Structure 1
């Protein structure tokens, strides 16, 4: 049996390819059932090469979560650029989140199945994703809302992140709920309280 010679590519590009495939496999099978052999085969590299890049299966999972967190941060931050009001900024940010989880289902699956990862570095990475989004919303509020009560701002941001996470999980059961519709549902509840603090 002959095998095609693997085309050499830059390390960063190969790493992105590995992460993309691993994200798909982890998302479909779950971390425990995912196989490094399968990931290596799908990428078209040897299993030792996977270990050379990520040290371990857990290291590969952490790389997937960090990549997803970075992509989510970029999507949400870019979405609110140029927003002219607190309401518009919140709506844009929520829509970016719901679009992300619809378009990046495997990444979202990794982030939401944390119960199997409790007590591992992966669980810490997932919580860091939440903190990232909470910090973004808190910063947003400091620009559009009365920011004298910092604890209230942080509590509000935690509430928004938690509520949207649960709504996203609910949306998985109802694929007919579009990102736009999910955003509408979230705004109906969240803006009623937040609007009272808008500058």
Structure 2
């Protein structure tokens, strides 16, 4: 497992999560085997909100695909990840230096939509599915970004995400799928709250 952007070794992730997320407490290979989907791999995205209800967005590096656009931390689930929940925590650690302590819920592209956003790689040769989770982190952590992947970060309110603008600054989101996932994260926080009991996964 890689270090965070400042070189710190990864923690052992002791994540709490509600029973409704048990289906994601499994490695990517096992999930693919049991769901019989025509996907080549799985990816995750971590929706992290601060105490003011703003979401963390990272700006993609100018030399990367979709340059200068904004997205939540996330990436591909690795074969060594104990589960999709741990994969989400690992990617958050590697891309933003934040340690996840709780996976709150899975989000979708909107009301009535099932979780899981299907997309292709940049060459169109592989099909992936991304699961986005709301994640809580240690409150004393500081965002640290990897300049090889991202060049800046912001905390954005829902209206700022929708307008893709914070004041005079434009913050274009990577694509429509990601925009819908982010906005569904805001919606679910308002409508669902946090009511379920919690379980623990280590990885």
Structure with the bigger RCO (C-alpha within 8 Å, sep 6+) is 2
TM-score for the superposition, normalised by structure 2? 0.23
TM-score for the superposition, normalised by structure 1? 0.23
Choose 1 or 2 for highest CA Rg.
1
Larger proportion of helix: 1
Larger proportion of strand: 2
